[in-house]
């Protein structure tokens, strides 16, 4: 079992299936409210992020609105279950706080290098620890 | 986080349900970033959720109204989706207008000041150096922090709403002295010669600088005008990379009497030189030859001198019959422009002069009808960058040209 240490985190403890994505995400532009990739130029086009623990680098730049799009996704049951970033921004953090999606960033190792899609991931924001097991 | 007694009481519900809920969320945000405390703000500025798209945010506003929410500080508003003086001029239906008014009613009932502009600093809302505010308008962040020397973070729609309700924001990022120190030297090989070059400069800098860069310009011209800086700040806030929220220039920005003061005595961590080719490359991102459909001036809303300038450029000219030309400004500046005669000159030329609105907040149906599949020419770096994506994909193509070239395109109907 691998362990990652974060500098920052908020939200409840959660366990779920990891989905790793190195193509920066803007939730409002790249995903529908039901959590399906809607941007043909994005790596996750046509894929679902609903209920996944997303393993990400940093938010896509442009509008800060991306964090607020999480509200729409949560209302439409399309939101991810957890957010793990190497470096996030306050707008996405606030979107996660408003929707009770656990979020953590600033890890001792780059999460996208250590975690693989399909891994079982447990986020413990209070303890600032992420535990990773291979898929069952 | 250390909370004051007043904040503890607010969390316990002594100022009502809305403020208790709002402060709880803001404290959580501050705790994520290790903020030592909250800080009192003197102004908040709110942008409108997009009708038909941001339904949950709109519901949240209504929820705050239901819980008895009232703004604690002077709270101004961003543009609406239509001009309240001429609501149907762009063909927006009465039905859509009614739907749009839901947000307007909610914020007014909580005590908002309907400035209806992204340029609140030209509509009577002017933070002083050192004042803490919470603004949700990306073009205003670097203006407030750099040009005015006040302090705001890049707020989201809801964090700004909750700050307006509570009068507080977490003391983090630009509210802290240590985060306002310059860290990147920027030298301009060529001084911007056109208005649009300030837009292009902002776009270029967002491509080459990281999000925590605090540029210090070594040779910004002392003759620079506030509307030129407005344009650069708009592109810095909504550019081609992470936004830059603060910069300094000796003798121009209040926190930099000298360059050394901007760096607070420390050495820059990076140096950037901006060449004329860097600026030229920004224009090359939108090449177009052929007929055009829409002409847009006013992102951000034009200042009084810009209204005078654009009016003089359209004097005795006529907008081509195959284009629609818009000049957009704040209601406050429109009033002055009317009295000064600028509006009459523009309308005489066939320009549509709009106030208090932004086409970027059009609902999808109207965005498709008015802008779908069209070619829009603008002298605004932010509008060139933002319009195609913010309305969702309606097939709008935007072209960035100098102000003179945009006027020519309006008159000839083509590039």
- Binary contact (A75, B243; C-beta < 8 A): no
**Phi (first) and psi of residue B139, to 5 degrees:** -70, -20
**Phi (first) and psi of residue A122, to 5 degrees:** -115, 120
3-state secondary structure of B235: helix
| Residue tagged active-site, from A63, A117, A120, A133 | A63
Q: Which residue has the tokens 């992020």?
A: A49
Cβ pairs A/B, distance under 8 A: 83
- Binary contact (A61, B389; C-beta < 8 A): no
| CB proximity B25 to A under 8 Å | yes
Which tens digits make up the pLDDT trace of B59-87?
999 999 999 999 999 999 999 999 999 98
Helix (H) or strand (E) holding B64: helix B55-66
Which tens digits make up the pLDDT trace of B275-322?
999 999 999 998 899 999 999 999 999 999 999 999 999 999 999 999
Nearest to A94 among B29, B173, B211 (CB): B29
Closest alpha carbon within chain A to B21: A98
Q: What is the mean pLDDT of residues B130-143?
A: 97
- Binary contact (B25, A71; C-beta < 8 A): no
Question: How many of the other CB atoms lie within 10 Å of CB of B395?
Answer: 10
Q: Which residue has the tokens 């001029």?
A: B89
Q: Are B250 and B256 in contact (CB under 8 A)?
A: yes
Say which residue, B369 or B32, is predicted with more confidence: B32
Strands (E), B88-230: 133-135, 168-170, 184-188, 215-217
Q: B91: pLDDT confidence band, cut at 50, 70 and 90? A: confident
Q: What is the mean pLDDT of residues B377-387?
A: 95
Using a CB-CB cut-off of 8 Å, the residues of chain B touching A10 are 28, 31-32
- What pLDDT shows up at residue A19? 98
Nearest to B154 among A8, A62, A91 (CB): A91
- Is A63 among the catalytic positions? yes
Using a CB-CB cut-off of 8 Å, the residues of chain B touching A72 are 53-57
Q: Which residue has the tokens 């990739």?
A: A37
* Distance from C-alpha of A128 to C-alpha of B283, rounded to nearest angstrom: 45
Alpha-carbon gap: B56 to the closest alpha carbon of chain A (Å): 6
- What pLDDT shows up at residue A63? 56
Q: What is the mean pLDDT of residues B149-158?
A: 96
| CB proximity B388 to A under 8 Å | no
Tally helices (H) and strands (E) across chain B: 16, 14
* Distance from C-alpha of B375 to C-alpha of B358, rounded to nearest angstrom: 17
Alpha-carbon gap: B85 to the closest alpha carbon of chain A (Å): 29
Alpha helices in chain A (DSSP H): 27-30, 66-75, 90-98, 111-114
Alpha-carbon gap: B213 to the closest alpha carbon of chain A (Å): 14
| Residues shown for chain A | 136
- Is the pLDDT assigned to residue B110 strictly greater than 80? yes
- What pLDDT shows up at residue A62? 60
Q: How far is CA B225 from CA B131, B186, B228, B352, in A?
A: 22, 19, 5, 26
Q: A28: pLDDT confidence band, cut at 50, 70 and 90? A: confident
| CB proximity B386 to A under 8 Å | yes
- Binary contact (B54, A68; C-beta < 8 A): yes
Q: B391: pLDDT confidence band, cut at 50, 70 and 90? A: low
Residue of B185, B239, B178, B253 lying closest to B213 (CA atoms): B185
Please list, in sequence order, all residues whose beta carbon lies within 8 angstroms of the beta carbon of residue B390, skipping any fewer than 6 positions away: A63, A65, B360
Question: How many of the other CB atoms lie within 10 Å of CB of A107?
Answer: 22
Closest alpha carbon within chain B to A103: B32
- What pLDDT shows up at residue B362? 84
Using a CB-CB cut-off of 8 Å, the residues of chain A touching B386 are 62-63
Using a CB-CB cut-off of 8 Å, the residues of chain A touching B56 are 71-72, 74-75
Q: Are B73 and B42 in contact (CB under 8 A)?
A: yes
- What pLDDT shows up at residue B177? 97
Q: Are B328 and B90 in contact (CB under 8 A)?
A: no
Using a CB-CB cut-off of 8 Å, the residues of chain B touching A64 are 138, 154-156, 243
3-state secondary structure of B250: coil
Q: How far is CA B392 from CA B47, B257, B271, B362, in A?
A: 18, 44, 37, 10
Closest alpha carbon within chain B to A70: B56
- Is the pLDDT assigned to residue B178 strictly greater than 70? yes
Strand A53-56 relative to strand A14-21, pairing: parallel
- What pLDDT shows up at residue A10? 98
Q: Provide ipTM, 2 decimals.
A: 0.96
Residue of A40, A42, A71, A38 lying closest to A56 (CA atoms): A42
* Strand partners for B270: B184
Say which residue, B194 or A112, is predicted with more confidence: A112
| CB proximity A100 to B under 8 Å | no
Q: What is the mean pLDDT of residues B6-15?
A: 98
| CB proximity A24 to B under 8 Å | no
B397-400 sheet: strands from edge to edge: B352-355, B324-329, B294-302, B375-378, B397-400
* Distance from C-alpha of B5 to C-alpha of B10, rounded to nearest angstrom: 9
Q: What is the average pLDDT score of chain B?
A: 95
Total-model pTM: 0.96
Which tens digits make up the pLDDT trace of B223-251?
999 999 999 999 999 999 999 999 999 99
Nearest to B28 among A61, A64, A97 (CB): A97
- Binary contact (A90, B173; C-beta < 8 A): yes
Which tens digits make up the pLDDT trace of B203-223?
999 999 999 999 999 999 999
Q: B100: pLDDT confidence band, cut at 50, 70 and 90? A: confident
Nearest to A67 among B31, B156, B242 (CB): B156
Tokens at residue B202, please?
């902002």
Q: Is the peptide bond before B377 cis (omega within 30 degrees of 0)?
A: no
Nearest to B56 among A61, A71, A103 (CB): A71
Q: How far is CA B207 from CA A119, B203, B274, B281, B285, in A?
A: 34, 7, 12, 12, 13
* Strand partners for A17: A120
* Distance from C-alpha of B296 to C-alpha of B370, rounded to nearest angstrom: 13
């Amino acid at each position: 079992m691998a362990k990652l240490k974060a500098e920052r985190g908020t939200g409840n403890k959660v366990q779920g299936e990891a989905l790793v994505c190195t193509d920066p995400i803007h939730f409002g532009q790249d995903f529908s409210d039901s959590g399906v990739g809607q941007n043909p130029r994005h790596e996750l086009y046509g894929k679902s992020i609903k209920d996944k623990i997303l393993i990400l680098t940093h938010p896509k730049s442009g509008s800060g609105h991306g964090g607020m799009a999480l509200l729409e996704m949560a209302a439409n049951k399309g939101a991810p279950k957890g957010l793990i970033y190497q470096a996030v921004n306050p707008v996405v953090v606030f979107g996660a706080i408003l929707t009770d999606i656990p979020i953590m960033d600033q890890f001792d190792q780059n999460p996208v290098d250590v975690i693989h899609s399909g891994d079982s991931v447990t986020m413990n924001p209070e303890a600032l620890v992420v535990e990773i097991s291979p898929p069952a | 986080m250390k909370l004051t007694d007043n904040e503890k009481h607010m969390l316990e519900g002594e100022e009502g349900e809305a403020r208790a809920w709002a402060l709880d969320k803001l404290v959580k945000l501050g705790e994520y970033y290790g903020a030592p405390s909250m800080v009192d703000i003197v102004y908040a500025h709110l942008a409108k959720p997009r009708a038909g798209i941001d339904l949950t945010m709109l519901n949240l506003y209504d929820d705050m109204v239901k819980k008895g929410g009232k703004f604690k500080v002077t709270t101004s508003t961003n543009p609406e989706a239509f001009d309240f003086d001429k609501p149907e001029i762009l063909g927006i239906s009465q039905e859509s207008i009614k739907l749009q008014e839901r947000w307007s009613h909610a914020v007014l009932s909580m005590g908002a000041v309907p400035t209806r502009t992204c340029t609140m600093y030209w509509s009577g809302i002017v933070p002083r150096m050192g004042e803490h505010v919470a603004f949700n308008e990306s073009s205003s962040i670097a203006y407030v922090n750099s040009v005015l020397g006040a302090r705001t973070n890049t707020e989201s729609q809801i964090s700004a709403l909750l700050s307006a309700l509570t009068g507080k924001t977490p003391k983090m990022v630009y509210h802290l002295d240590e985060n306002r120190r310059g860290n990147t030297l920027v030298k301009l090989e060529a001084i911007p010669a056109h208005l649009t070059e300030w837009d292009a400069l902002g776009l270029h800098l967002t491509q080459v600088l990281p999000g925590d860069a605090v540029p210090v310009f070594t040779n910004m011209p002392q003759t620079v005008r506030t509307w030129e800086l407005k344009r650069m700040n708009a592109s810095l806030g909504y550019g081609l990379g992470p936004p830059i929220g603060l910069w300094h220039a000796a003798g121009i920005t209040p926190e930099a009497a000298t360059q050394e003061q901007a760096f607070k005595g420390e050495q820059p961590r990076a140096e950037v030189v901006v060449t004329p080719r860097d600026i030229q490359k920004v224009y090359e991102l939108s090449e177009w030859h052929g007929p055009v459909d829409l002409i847009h001036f006013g992102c951000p809303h034009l200042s009084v001198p810009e209204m005078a300038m654009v009016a003089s450029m359209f004097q005795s000219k006529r907008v081509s019959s195959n284009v629609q030309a818009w000049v957009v400004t704040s209601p406050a500046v429109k009033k002055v422009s009317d009295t000064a005669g600028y509006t009459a000159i523009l309308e005489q030329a066939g320009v549509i002069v709009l106030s208090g609105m932004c086409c970027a907040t059009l609902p999808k149906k109207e965005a498709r009808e008015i802008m779908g599949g069209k070619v829009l020419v603008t002298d605004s770096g932010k509008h060139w960058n933002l319009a195609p994506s913010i309305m969702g994909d309606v097939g709008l193509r935007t072209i960035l040209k100098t102000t003179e070239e945009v006027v020519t395109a309006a008159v000839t109907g083509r590039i």
